[in-house]
Structure 1
Amino acid sequence: MKFISIVMGSMSDYDIVSEAAKLLEKFDVKYELIISSAHRSPERTHEYIKTAEAKGAKVFIAAAGMAAHLAGAIAANTTKPVIGIPMSGSALNGMDALYSTVQMPSGMPVATLAIGKAGAINAAYLAMQILALNDDTLAQKLLNDRESKKEALRADSAKVEVIL
């Protein structure tokens, strides 16, 4: 069974990370969601990555704030794609998490997305796009979703457009 693994550093990340989970559910994409910290439970994180890979994880999404080493810890232990979601909530409003997630050494890539909710939603989309490389049904669902967004924008535009 192929699935997307979502790992969040603490329960305080759930409200944001659940947005990614909701989107995956909308597309009928299987996922796992766990709490594991690069700092507070490094052994659990390491063991989970190996277990998730053995069960069929194809993409990892990691959400963490502050020092935000979770995505890097996952990337160090897998060659599967890792997508990082920097979380806000610190005194630096997520900039610390953004820098920690995006500044990976060469050879340890982490696709880093926006801080917070937009990042969580885009992480789900990016993970699905990766899976869709080998799944025509999912690729078509993503294409249909893109078309529906385009149509919604067209409809909204027609309501307010004024041309002089």
Structure 2
Amino acid sequence: MPQVGIVMGSDSDMPVMAKAAEILDKLGVTYEMTIISAHREPDVFFEYAKSAEAKGFKVIIAGAGMAAHLPGMCAAIFPLPVIGIPMHTTSLGGRDSLYSIVQMPSGIPVATVAINGGANAGLLAAKILATSDAALLDRLKAYSAELKEQVEAKDAKLKAEGYQAYLANK
């Protein structure tokens, strides 16, 4: 049974949403990924959000660009946490998406990550789930340790080679 619903309004959002899925895969978190347009198929969207709790979802990650109503509408219907990912847009660089998702009315919160922040959305969903899953928390701690080791290795390489060689060999 999937713990996380990943929903996007268009397949053009897939590269960003895939980053959330990759993190969840790495951490062993089950999910279901879906494309639903809240504007073009509101009945399908409403059924998705209304049935998400019964499907076992504990968190929904919703990505949207431009009008960006998908995360907020999920939060209006789904009683558990919703994480919104604003998508970069060519017209306004994603600020329109960001404002639409982060400026929710009182009582309808949406946790919002950076524009195109798919990986962080996956991590935030995992951290929410880890509040009641000790094994997942251990995997998150191991992931953080990996990130630290990567930075330490980069710093050691910089110190050994100098910045010019580092840039040339990157």
Aligned equivalents of 1:2 and 1:32: distance in 2? 6
Contact 1:132–1:139 (8 Å) recurs in 2: yes
Rounded to whole Å, the distance in 2 between the matches of 1:103 and 1:13 is 21
| Structure 1 contact 4–57 (Cα < 8 Å) conserved | yes
Alpha-carbon distance between aligned partners in 1 of 2:52 and 2:32, rounded to the nearest angstrom: 9
- Gapped runs of 5+ residues in structure 1? none
Residues 36-115 of structure 1 aligned to structure 2 (within 5 Å):
36-115=36-115
Code of the aligned partner of 1:53: E
SS of residue matched to 1:45: helix
Question: Tell me, what secondary structure is at the counterpart of 1:53?
Answer: coil
Q: Report the alpha carbon displacement of residue 39 of structure 1 after superposing the two structures with TM.
A: 1.3
Of 131, 134, 138, the residue aligned with 1:133 is: 131
Which runs of no fewer than 5 residues in structure 2 stay unpaired? 161-170
Question: Partner amino acid for 2:29?
Answer: V
Identity %: 52
Question: Which deviates more from structure 2 when the two are superposed, residues 51-60 or residues 125-134?
Answer: 51-60
Question: Could you tell me how far 1:93 is from its partner in structure 2?
Answer: 1.3
TM-score by length of 1: 0.93
CA shift digits 1:42-82 (9 cap, x unpaired) = 22111012222101000000000001010110010022100
- Aligned residue in 1 for 2:35: 35
Q: Structure 1 residue runs of 4+, over 4 Å off?
A: none
TM-score by length of 2: 0.90
Structure whose alpha-carbon radius of gyration is higher:
2
- Give aligned pairs, total: 160
